[in-house]
Amino acid sequence: MKQALSLPKDPVDPARSKKALTILLVAGFLLRVAFVFFVPLIHMHRDSFEYYRQAEILRQGRYLNYFPNGYPLIVLIAKQITANHSQTLLLWLNIFMSTTTIWFVYDIALRTLKNRTVALTAGIIFAVFPPLLNYVRWIMSEGPTFFFLLGAYYYYFRQKNWLSGLFFGLTTVVRTNIAPVFLLIVAIELIWKKRLNYRLLITAFIPIVLLGSYCYLQTGKFSIEGNARINILYSVTAKGNYIDFEIGDKYPGIDTEDKAVRLYMDHMKKEPGEFLSQRIANLWELWGFVASDAQGFRSPATRLMLGFCNFFLVVFGIIGFWLNRRNLDAWMMILPFVVLTGIHTILVAIPRYAYPAHPFMIIFGSWTIWWLLSLKKKAPASKAEALERQ
């Protein structure tokens, strides 16, 4: 496949691009330091305490198969390095990872869309994008998820499949909903290029097999996460920003993943109208142009800002993808958006679960910006040429 459309000649030469990228990385780093340490906002989410609990269980040589244990392992390493200042260390790790992903976004955009101006624009937007910047301050799995996923694509487009696969595997043990992405990449290559990317496949499964094997030794079950049952249960009544977190207590007999799936399927069959309404509400919660109030936790200004961000990601991002649809790389980059949207429309729609797709939609959206600007420049020229012909 080849790129369907091309932009006018790139006005940014390599030397200027390198200098601009250096300035962007320094500014992005300083912005993150200021936001994390000098803005009076909390760093511990309710999930953060669970990650710490799972880290302590791992330290004791045991295993709690609930949240994916990739991030608890990172927390454990931080606690081993400095028991009294592990939160500070994890925040610095977030800053490092988030700053590095600015470079990843720039490089991915440059290699796939072949335009330094677009790549710099994508890097700038990513560096200041409010939803993503906000999660630098949280001690949660978002930071490592962005880092490992974008790192996987960074190495993939550099044709370093061993490293790409390893990063995909690390992403999966931190956030299991990413697993379909690398499997689809291998499948697309197998269909389109008639070759099996065994290098990516092998190294992707190394972290997964290691963590799953440790779980098997401790629990007798090969798994890297154990919260699928409760997430499916949540999905039975979840509708947009409404999630009944007490539903597990209401169905004590639904104690396995298989039983939860059967309850979910029964709900779909018996109440198809309500089921469809829930799925639409979930989709809107993920990508709607008017963000919900999150049951009173979001201010009107925050809702407006999130809605504007979603509009850019969805409208500009999809336009950019569609105009580059003849580029096989574009299909690879749209996979996180498709996978995460599909999973969380069907299950539970917490917007941050779809955030790993944001960088790729920012790249497509940046291409759309410059494509629209190029159309605007061409219009006056076309009018002048028409007058000359007359």
Is residue 6 domain-resident? no
Structural domain boundaries enclosing 192:
13-217
User: Which region among 245-249, 276-280, 335-339 has the lowest average model confidence (pLDDT)?
Assistant: 245-249
Is residue 8 domain-resident? no
Dihedral of CA 334/340/344/346: which sign? positive
CB count, 10 Å around CB of 321? Answer: 22
Final residue in a domain of this structure, among 196, 217, 238: 217
Is residue 383 domain-resident? no
Is residue 382 domain-resident? no
165 and 186 housed in the same domain: yes
Count of structural domains within the chain? 2
Per residue in 204-251, pLDDT (tens digit) is: 999 999 999 999 999 888 988 888 889 999 999 999 889 988 888 888
CA distances from 165 to 28, 64, 200, 201, 211 (A): 28, 26, 4, 6, 16
Is residue 372 domain-resident? yes
Alpha-carbon span 258 to 300, nearest angstrom? 40
Alpha-carbon span 83 to 253, nearest angstrom? 40
Element housing 19 (H / E): helix 14-37
Burial 114-150 (b: 16+ CB within 10 A, else e): ebbbbbbbbbbbbbebebbbbbbbbbbbbbbbbbbbb
Q: How confident is the model at residue 3 (pLDDT cuts 50, 70, 90)?
A: very low
| Residue with tokens 């720039």, as numbered in its chain | 106
Would you call 315 helix, strand, or coil by DSSP? helix
Task: Look up the pTM and report it.
Answer: 0.93
23 and 71 housed in the same domain: yes
Burial of 225 from C-beta contacts in 10 A (0-12 / 13-18 / 19+): buried
196 and 243 housed in the same domain: no
Burial 352-369 (b: 16+ CB within 10 A, else e): bbbbbbbbbbbbbbbbbb
Per residue in 84-102, pLDDT (tens digit) is: 999 999 999 999 999 999 9
Final residue in a domain of this structure, among 190, 217, 244: 217
Is residue 381 domain-resident? no
Per residue in 114-146, pLDDT (tens digit) is: 999 999 999 999 999 999 999 999 999 999 999
110 and 132 housed in the same domain: yes
200 and 268 housed in the same domain: no
Would you call 195 helix, strand, or coil by DSSP? coil
Final residue in a domain of this structure, among 217, 244, 259: 217
Per residue in 169-179, pLDDT (tens digit) is: 999 999 999 99
48 and 179 housed in the same domain: yes
Is residue 353 domain-resident? yes
Give the bridge partners for 239, in sequence order.
242
